[in-house]
C-alpha cells in the first residue's frame, strides 16, 4: 500500500485579510477567497478596491497590518492619499467578510 501524501501546509487561511503583491502593482489589501495546496500559486486573493482577484504564492503575500498602510507609498506628493484608500479598502473587505459569515450562519439554521 502506498503512503498517503500529505498536502503541504498553507501559511494563510481562508478569508484572511492580507497584503497581496501583483507584478506591476504596489502591495494592496486583499481577502483570501480560495486555497489550493497542490497549485503553483495556491492562494486566490480578492481585491475589493477594483473588484479583481489574482492567484498568488506565499512570497507575494504578507499579513495585513494597519501600521503598514501608513507607510505605503507616502514618499511622493501624489501618493499621500494612498493610505486612506488602503484603509477604505480594508473596511470594505471587513464588511464583505461579515456579510459572508452572516449569510453562512443564516444558511446553517434554515
- 11-21 residue pLDDT tens: 898 888 888 99
Q: What is the pLDDT of residue 74?
A: 47
**Complete DSSP assignment for 39-107:** SSS-EEEEETTTTEEEEE-GGGEEE--HHHHHHTT-SSGGGTTHHHHHHHHHHHHHHHHHHHHHHHHHH
Q: What is the pLDDT of residue 39?
A: 86
pTM, two decimal places: 0.66
Ranges under pLDDT 50 in the chain: 2-6, 73-78, 80
Q: What is the pLDDT of residue 45?
A: 93
Q: What is the pLDDT of residue 5?
A: 35
Amino acid at each position: 500500500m502506498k503512503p498517503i501524501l500529505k498536502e503541504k501546509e498553507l501559511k494563510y487561511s481562508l478569508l484572511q485579510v492580507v497584503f497581496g503583491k501583483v507584478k506591476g502593482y504596489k502591495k494592496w489589501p486583499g481577502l483570501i477567497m480560495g486555497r489550493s495546496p497542490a497549485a503553483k500559486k495556491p492562494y486566490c486573493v480578492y481585491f475589493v478596491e477594483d473588484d479583481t482577484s489574482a492567484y498568488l504564492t506565499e512570497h507575494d503575500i504578507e499579513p495585513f497590518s494597519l501600521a503598514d498602510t501608513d507607510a505605503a507609498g507616502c514618499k511622493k506628493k501624489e501618493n499621500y492619499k494612498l493610505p486612506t484608500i488602503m484603509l477604505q479598502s480594508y473596511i470594505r473587505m471587513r464588511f464583505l467578510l461579515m456579510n459572508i459569515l452572516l449569510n453562512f450562519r443564516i444558511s446553517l439554521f434554515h
